[in-house]
Chain A
């Protein structure tokens, strides 16, 4: 089939159906998600390796303000998954306005999460935690803490930007309802990663 024929008659039966009966964009997002899950998995394993091998691993997180702050952040992020879900359902039902509204609410919650996270980082840096030092014990604590939470925060900020761009594009007709659903998958994944980061990085290191 020549290029001209492809342009005039489309791919038709000359090409195989999309794998797993889902759009290619969605499959690419799923593949990205599993590769990213393994990346976070490797980071958490690395953290476990260092924590287990260290005799003076610090447990600096006080109930207030650290754990309370983490609980609020968790509530905000899980709630943002629900608002994203409502946005996706609205898009699938053809309610463009509703979908865009709920996607923006998700973006807003993402910004709140990022702001709380940055505030927590500032407080820890103020207490003397750097990538190589901290006042409590093993110097590797700061490196691993900032690496894992930083990678997650980068994902949140990336998601906020992506959802804003897709919502704007959906409003202008550049993107479709399926694009909202695909970026919704990414947002839920960011939420799922946090469910592992909280117990492993924060709750295992609470001050008792």
Chain B
């Protein structure tokens, strides 16, 4: 890696760093804005996913590895995390205290 390329990379790193910090600040502003918990969860999660995506691609350099590594890791992780959503029906049942029919 040449000196110029290193300077370019560092510039990109600093830009990504600033974007991640700005998003973190934005989350605090959202927390004090009106809205339902559901809205806040969606907004917070969307912003956190953007932050994590930037981190994985630019700080952890997954984007620079072979594409096959990315395809081996990301879809499997996302699939497992999505499957955990199965718990919500029981969580809503608890708050309404409605037991399942026998």
Contacts and interface: CB of A to CB of B under 8 A. Distances in A.
B55 to A, nearest CB: 5
| Number of chain A interface residues as a range | 35 or more
Given A34-B77, A204-B41, A206-B31, A192 B51 contact: yes
Contacts of B85: 45
A69 interface: no
Interface of A: 20-22, 27, 30, 34, 37-38, 41-42, 45, 48-50, 52-55, 63, 67, 71, 74-75, 78-79, 81-82, 85-86, 89, 92-93, 185, 188-189, 191-192, 195-196, 198-200, 203-204, 206, 208
Interface residues of B, number: 48
Interface of B: 1, 6, 9-10, 13-14, 17, 20-21, 24-25, 27-28, 30-32, 37, 40-41, 44-45, 47-48, 51-52, 55-56, 59-60, 65-66, 68-69, 72-73, 76-77, 80-81, 84-85, 87-88, 90-92, 94-95
B80 A41 contact: yes
A20 B65 contact: yes
Given A30-B73, A37-B81, A53-B95, 6 more contacts: A20-B65, A20-B68, A75-B21, A92-B1, A198-B24, A199-B27
B27 A38 contact: no
A204 B73 contact: no
B37 to A, nearest CB: 7
A134 B30 CA distance: 26
A175 B78 CA distance: 33
B77 A78 contact: no
A67 B9 contact: no
